[in-house]
Amino acid sequence: MSNEKIYLELSEDDGVSHKFYEVTINGNDVTIRYGRIGTDGRASTKNYPTQEKANAEAQKQIKAKRKKGYESAVMGERKKRPITRRQINSQKSKAKPAPVLWKFNSGASAFGIFINEDYCWIGNQDGSVFVLNHEAEVINQYRLPDGVKCIVADTLWVYAGCDDGCVYDLTGKLPRVAYQISENVDIYWLDIHNGLLGVADAGGTIMTANHEDETLWQKKSQGSSGWMVRCDDDRVYHGHSGGVTSYSESGKMFWHTKDAKQVLFGWQEKLAVYAGTGTKKVYALTKKTGKVEQIYSCDAAVYSCAASEDGEYVFAGDCYSSIYCFNKAGDRLWKLGTSCGSAYSMQYLNERVYIVTTNGSLACIDASAEAIKAAETGIIPKSKSIKAPKPIAVSKTKELETTSDPTQGVIVKCLNIKGKLRVRVLLEEYNPEWNVQFPRNLREEEALFIVDEIREAARGGFYRVYGNIRRFVP
């Protein structure tokens, strides 16, 4: 058995398990490759002192997988199973058109959106991410290996969750793999708060991972299709077909409400979470108890929602290309058409509503009282239309620049600590016991890197890389 390859697959009718596991023995080396069927997956090789020990470890791994239901298979006979994408039979709204200030056409349907004071981010199903200023000028773009499911921010860090099972950090010149979720997990949504990752999947499972990309816990919900996950300082909120469930950071369930069923999107403010549902309603739930604080009624299934600070205004987007605005008491203030498809995701900032849509647009809508009043009488501004630049090549996330100049940033080193590769800062002013959150696919024992900045995590206990990563060669 000194040179042998064993290939196994597990594919079940539930649509969730569709994965392979391959063990290759070459002398004293054992290479394990695993992932979603139809992809290259991920691979790692380990060397053993003797050929006998290599064979024994290979047999141990194969036996463990067979116990879980894996069977011998021929590579290529089963085809790659398609990723679940939200499908909306988007109809043209019969409402009067909203005052759209500008529309950016990304080139493919878009789920991902993040808006702050400086920039507007959009990520689409082709894997393209564009960064615009508030005048709709393209400032930057990335190209990821697979479709973008969502874009989330964690203070200064911006992340894109993709259909390849990876979460990419977009704060540097090149995207870096921040978290690697199992390729057989069909991600529906994710959120990150102080380095804690929450992931909701097609089967209704919620899982969390820490800053070292190590799974902390996972739970099967009372429903399926988890389109909502939101994290804050204390809890994780999971919305699915069976309602909304709140967990502690350790996975203890605090509350569950069946009132908000068929959850299709989630938003959060300081004291409340908002669940947009297929029952044509948005529910405001208190974070502490899950009590229904308010219900906002729409005319069709709600595929996105957002709120202004403290829920003074609540917004919703339905599957008929309409957007709504409500006051805190639940009164509908207005309903207008998007003129660019149904809103998959949305965000509100500074009297503007930003949406990403089924036709791939990022649209900026003037939500000021004056603009809305004019729109309701049929007076709207001339909308600026911008077409996306030609897509760039897919980024090579393992690619690194090399430098020998120690003044370019902070030097960190990859060390083997109790059998695990960890990254530590070498400078005296940093805690030598704290790990650095660092891409796992870049870690090599004893390797040196220079990063633009090292910042202490808000929760303490570890550091985070901000900006670019270079290989340091003294």
DSSP 242-254: TEEEEEETTS-EE
What pLDDT does residue 231 have? 97
Contact yes or no for 265/303 (Cβ under 8 A): yes
**Mean pLDDT over each residue of the chain, to the nearest integer:** 91
**Quick check: 15 pLDDT over 50?**
no
Confidence grade of residue 94 (pLDDT, cut at 50, 70, 90): confident
What pLDDT does residue 396 have? 84
Rounded distance between C-alpha atoms, residue 16 and residue 225, angstroms: 11
**Quick check: 78 pLDDT over 70?**
no
DSSP state of 97: B
Rounded distance between C-alpha atoms, residue 253 and residue 244, angstroms: 11
What pLDDT does residue 181 have? 83
What pLDDT does residue 397 have? 84
Q: Is 123 helix (H, G, I), strand (E, B) or coil?
A: strand
Two tokens, residue 249 = 């950071």
Compute the average pLDDT of residues 148-177.
93
Strand 462-472 to 401-403 pairing: parallel
**Quick check: 184 pLDDT over 70?**
no
What pLDDT does residue 99 have? 98
Q: Edge to edge, what strands does the sheet with 313-318 contain?
A: 302-307, 313-318, 322-327, 332-337
What is the per-residue pLDDT across 224-272, written as a single tens digit (0 to 9) for each? 999 999 999 999 999 999 999 999 999 999 999 999 999 999 999 999 9
Two tokens, residue 176 = 């870096």
Taken in order 422, 426, 430, 433, is the CA torsion positive or negative? positive
Please state the pTM of the whole predicted model. 0.83
Compute the average pLDDT of residues 172-189.
84
| Owner of token pair 């056409």 | 105
Q: Is 17 helix (H, G, I), strand (E, B) or coil?
A: coil
What is the per-residue pLDDT across 380-408, written as a single tens digit (0 to 9) for each? 999 999 999 998 999 888 889 999 999 99
Rounded distance between C-alpha atoms, residue 268 and residue 151, angstroms: 15
Provide the 10 A C-beta neighbour count for residue 373: 12
Rounded distance between C-alpha atoms, residue 238 and residue 240, angstroms: 7
Residue 402's Cβ-count burial label (10 Å; 0-12, 13-18, 19+) is exposed
Rounded distance between C-alpha atoms, residue 360 and residue 301, angstroms: 20
**Quick check: 71 pLDDT over 90?**
no
Q: Is 259 helix (H, G, I), strand (E, B) or coil?
A: coil
What is the per-residue pLDDT across 410-465, written as a single tens digit (0 to 9) for each? 999 999 999 999 999 989 999 999 999 999 889 999 999 999 999 999 989 999 99
Confidence grade of residue 67 (pLDDT, cut at 50, 70, 90): confident
Confidence grade of residue 16 (pLDDT, cut at 50, 70, 90): very low
Confidence grade of residue 163 (pLDDT, cut at 50, 70, 90): confident
Confidence grade of residue 79 (pLDDT, cut at 50, 70, 90): low
Domains and their CATH numbers in the chain: 3-72 (2.20.140.10), 100-387 (2.130.10.10), 401-472 (no CATH)
- Residues above pLDDT 70, as percent of the chain: 94
What is the per-residue pLDDT across 300-340, written as a single tens digit (0 to 9) for each? 999 999 999 999 999 999 999 999 999 999 999 999 999 99
Q: Is 51 helix (H, G, I), strand (E, B) or coil?
A: helix
Q: H helices then E strands: how many in the chain?
A: 2, 40
